[in-house]
């Protein structure tokens, strides 16, 4: 049977982040996504001033109630940036939505040592509960530290320190695949640590850091990762595909000088390569 997916995250109207990248990428890969938008914002919350925010949690409850009356089930569910009330709604409904579904949770909460605007310790606490339900989590270093109740850092990490952080996550949140993403390494490199509870492997990958940091790269990464996993790649192979996709996209955006780090990346430049690789 065709694989089906549910994507639930916000729709930031301007810029290439969250639903605005996840839906087209996973749609282009052939998964006919079902979507459950959690909020509508004028922009993401990271540097455009006073973004608007329309919470959709009460609509989400009605949408889920309607879905319960129709034949709808998902091979995989991908959750990203949610918002305060939508996170609670998903916590209350995830068991019925995710019957036999693979749950990818990108616990989007912060970056560079800080929580995103609008989130507080209660959000972190609720996210810690939601993580228990996931099969695969993809926190960055800040999110990993928040999930572990540690102080957030912004410095570079050695491979040993990155491995320690991922291992602590693996101890606290059992029986999941873990990808610690966006690890700032020395020598202008970005690393990823993978702990695969299926293959029992632990590994690290690295790629050169190109340019500044772009909003939405985590969302593009998670979308491509899920696509590659659903095309039966191992966690490590899917991670490599997603990491290369980001790296080549950044290179092409910079080559054609068609980028603005706040508005995010034009992923379309690399999409034909990905489609060939996965379809
Ligand atoms: O890219 C992550 C993200 C998604 N959605 C919203 C955000 C952010 C990061 O700042 O603010 C609304």
Domains detected in the chain: 4-137+219-278 (3.40.1190.20)
Residue 1 has a pLDDT of 56
Select from 106, 142, 215 the residue to mutate for testing ligand 1; criterion: most ligand atoms less than 8 Å from CB: 215
Which protein residue has the closest C-alpha to ligand 1 atom 7? 44
Kindly give the number of the ligand 1 atom that is closest to the alpha carbon of 18. Answer: 4
Q: How remote is the CA of residue 271 from the centroid of ligand 1, in Å?
A: 22
Residue 2 has a pLDDT of 87
Which protein residue has the closest C-alpha to ligand 1 atom 12? 44
Q: Model-level pTM?
A: 0.97
Q: How remote is the CA of residue 26 from the centroid of ligand 1, in Å?
A: 18
Residue 260 has a pLDDT of 85
Name the nearest CA neighbour of 101 among 179, 7, 174, 218: 7
What pLDDT tens digit does each residue of the chain (279 aa) get?
A: 589 999 999 999 999 999 999 999 999 999 999 999 999 999 999 989 999 999 999 999 999 999 999 999 999 999 999 999 999 999 999 999 999 999 999 999 999 999 999 999 999 999 999 999 999 999 999 999 999 999 999 999 999 999 999 999 999 999 999 999 999 999 899 999 999 998 899 999 999 999 888 999 999 999 999 999 999 999 999 999 999 999 999 999 998 877 789 999 999 999 999 999 998
Kindly give the number of the ligand 1 atom that is closest to the alpha carbon of 43. Answer: 12
Which protein residue has the closest C-alpha to ligand 1 atom 1? 216
Residue 36 has a pLDDT of 98
Kindly give the number of the ligand 1 atom that is closest to the alpha carbon of 39. Answer: 12
């Amino acid at each position: 049977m065709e694989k089906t997916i549910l994507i639930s995250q916000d729709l930031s109207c301007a810029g290439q982040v969250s639903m605005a990248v996840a839906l087209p990428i996973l749609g282009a890969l052939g998964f006919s996504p079902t979507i459950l938008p959690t909020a509508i914002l004028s922009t993401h919350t990271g540097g455009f001033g006073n973004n608007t925010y329309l919470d959709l949690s009460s609509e989400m409850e009605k949408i889920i109630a309607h879905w319960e009356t129709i034949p709808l089930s998902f091979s995989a569910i991908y959750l990203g940036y949610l918002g305060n009330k939508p996170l609670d709604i998903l916590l209350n409904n995830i068991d019925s939505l995710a019957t036999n579904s693979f749950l990818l949770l990108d616990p989007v909460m912060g970056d560079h040592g800080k929580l995103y605007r609008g989130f507080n310790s209660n959000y972190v606490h609720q996210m810690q509960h939601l993580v228990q339900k996931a099969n695969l989590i993809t926190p960055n270093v800040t999110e990993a530290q928040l999930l572990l109740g540690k102080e957030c850092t912004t410095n570079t990490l050695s491979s040993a320190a990155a491995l320690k952080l991922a291992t602590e996550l693996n101890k606290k949140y059992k029986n999941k695949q873990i990808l610690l993403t966006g690890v700032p390494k020395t020598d202008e490199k970005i690393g990823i640590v993978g702990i695969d509870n299926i293959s029992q492997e632990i590994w690290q990958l690295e790629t050169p850091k190109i340019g500044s940091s772009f909003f939405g790269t985590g969302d593009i990464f998670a979308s491509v990762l899920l696509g590659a996993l659903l095309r039966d790649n191992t966690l490590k192979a899917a991670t490599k595909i997603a990491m290369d996709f980001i790296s080549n996209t950044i290179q092409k955006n910079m080559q054609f000088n068609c980028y603005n780090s706040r508005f995010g990346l034009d992923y379309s430049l690399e999409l034909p390569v990905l489609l060939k690789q996965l379809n």
